[in-house]
Amino acid sequence: VPRGGDPYRLYNLDVFQYEVFTPMALYGSVPLLLAHRPRLSLGLFWLNAAETWVDIGSNTAGKVWQGGLGGALTGTGHWGHCKFFSFSLIPIFRGIFGGFLNSGPAQAVLGDFTPVSAPCPGTQALPPLFSLGYHQSRWNYQDEADVEAVERGFEEHELPLDVLWLDIEHADGKRYFTWDPAKFPNPRRMLEHLAARKRRMVSIVDPHIKVDGGYRVHTELRARGLYVKTKDGNDYEGWCWPGFYNLPPYFWGPPADLGSPQGSTEALFTWNDMNEPSVFSGPEVTMHKDARHFGGWEHRELHNIYGLYVQKATAEGQIRRSGGRHRPFVLSRAFFAGSQRYGAVWTGDNTADWEHLRISIPMCLSFGLAGLAFCGADVGGFFQNPGPELQVRWYQAGAFQPFFRAHAHLDTARREPWLLSPEHLALVRSALRRRYALLPTWYTAFYRCHRQGIPVMRPLWMEFPDDPQTFAMDDQYMIDRVLLVHPVTEPGAHGVNVYLPGEGEVWYNDETHEQHRAPQTLYVPVTLSTIPVFQRGGTVIPRQDRPRRSTEAMRGDPFTLYVALSPQVSVGGTPKTPQGPQNPPQTSPSSADPRGSMSTPAWLERVVILGVGRPESALLTTHG
């Protein structure tokens, strides 16, 4: 609940240098409320894309319908209240509205809520493997020579990298789907060079279509009448980075295939930014509420879902581009319930300070609970310049969040990792390599999320629903059900207190393999090199420990299984690996059943068993 008790406003806006712990509107909205106590959880999903206010507080009278939500959970005579208010000019029986209420045992509600409301949100799309690697971005890498120098820097300093990003300066006069001919005269050669090094590129495509009679995209959309209209029937015109622009409506109208950016290849993927939509000349820096979409729908009815449809159109375009052979990758700043079906999201334009590093954890946990499992924060902070300690700690935290991208504002100092001191560079390299070693674990977690709707990065209370001590914890979390992570988010820290939950369970330090009994609060001494991570007893973690330049370069590398013994449960795991280089959008031959079989070029190199002493002998029996 925001400090001060004011209601949340769900209204997607382009917010400059947002503050933390405020109920102000931000880039995206998911009208989902989850409430939990031991042995009972409730979920309420309010399907309405109009401006919505959510008031959460205490109501001793308890005479509102939503009050039962809090009363059922408190188990006392006092009723909490939660009120949803959506501003629509259409009667409910004509408007876009739906409500979904689910209750039951915690694991059933929290694990099944997304499938229960699948007609609305759906589950997280299974991402292409490369997108789980490290992404390097800034506003802006200036030209082809700059791009190649940055890529070469990662190679020379033995830093893994999967994707280089280009912001708005790459386009010709902010005409998206084009390249600046002076800065990027041969984009195809640049992309082919990256692909040859087993890397990819992402370029930005905002929804703003520059008003320019010589711009093919604009003239085609105008000729076909495919722009949002004003209430008077004229093309809606706003002002943003391109200058004057028009906006495609994306909702339900006739399709318009805008093609791929000139000179692009299938190694180029997309970042949809400013898609709230941002209108510098509009009220609250967004589109007028009385603008008209296809069918006469006013924008006020659809505002919060606009960004989702931009991302949806982009993802579907990428699938068509490859003939269905490749999964899409699209990052979107604006989002709504269901955006997870089309790609990734992030926490937006954060600031290079410790407070924004800390808040990235509960923000990503909230994303995951709302179904948006592929989430992250700009490593290092978008605004301002981080000091070396903050930059290292942010890399360490980002390595254990689902989407891992460094990004920075145009006015900040360059901050490629090798610009740090050799000592700090070594720490960043270590964090990057830990991320890549655990990619099989990340991919398995995303597969389970895709199939079951369970967040990849989740709060402790989701795994330990009857332990009240976990309920308010938002500085540590689980990755799938196998790893507990407590990033260091305080300057000058010499230690952190890590709560290890689970009556009678055991946890193993991920680096030292030291065993700890739960439940307990463990003081962990830390240096700048420490990332407190613990493997849960009773789990198996697959790792690929050989350093490589990218995820694609790791294909066929051997696996090491880390088997963590537990006195309570038998050990088990179902590792999932992508098959073949193409990553088709839906499925490929594979098995997540321990009794099934599958073919992979990789092989099992080692099995490390945690929790036992060194045996005097071992016998391995194989068939064939």
Query: What secondary structure letter does DSSP report for 139?
Result: T
Q: Hey, which residues does 516 pair with through a beta bridge?
A: 507
Strand segments (E) across 440-590: 457-458, 477-479, 483-485, 495-500, 506-509, 515-517, 520-525, 533-536, 539-543, 559-564
Query: Active-site residue numbers?
Result: 273, 349
Distance (Å, whole) CA 516 – CA 518:
7
SS3 assignment, position 344: strand
Query: Minimal CA–CA distance to 10: which of 40, 46, 35?
Result: 46
Give the DSSP H/E element, type plus range, for residue 460. helix 460-463
Q: Hey, which residues does 606 pair with through a beta bridge?
A: 560
How many CB atoms sit inside 10 A of residue 262's CB? 14
Assigned token pair, 472: 């308010």
Distance (Å, whole) CA 381 – CA 20:
14
Distance (Å, whole) CA 111 – CA 463:
10
Distance (Å, whole) CA 263 – CA 408:
26
Distance (Å, whole) CA 10 – CA 303:
10
Assigned token pair, 6: 């004011």
56: left (phi over 0), alpha (psi -120 to 50) or beta: beta
Fill in the amino acid letter for 181: P
Distance (Å, whole) CA 605 – CA 19:
48
Q: Report yes or no: 67 and 59 within 8 Å, Cβ to Cβ.
A: yes
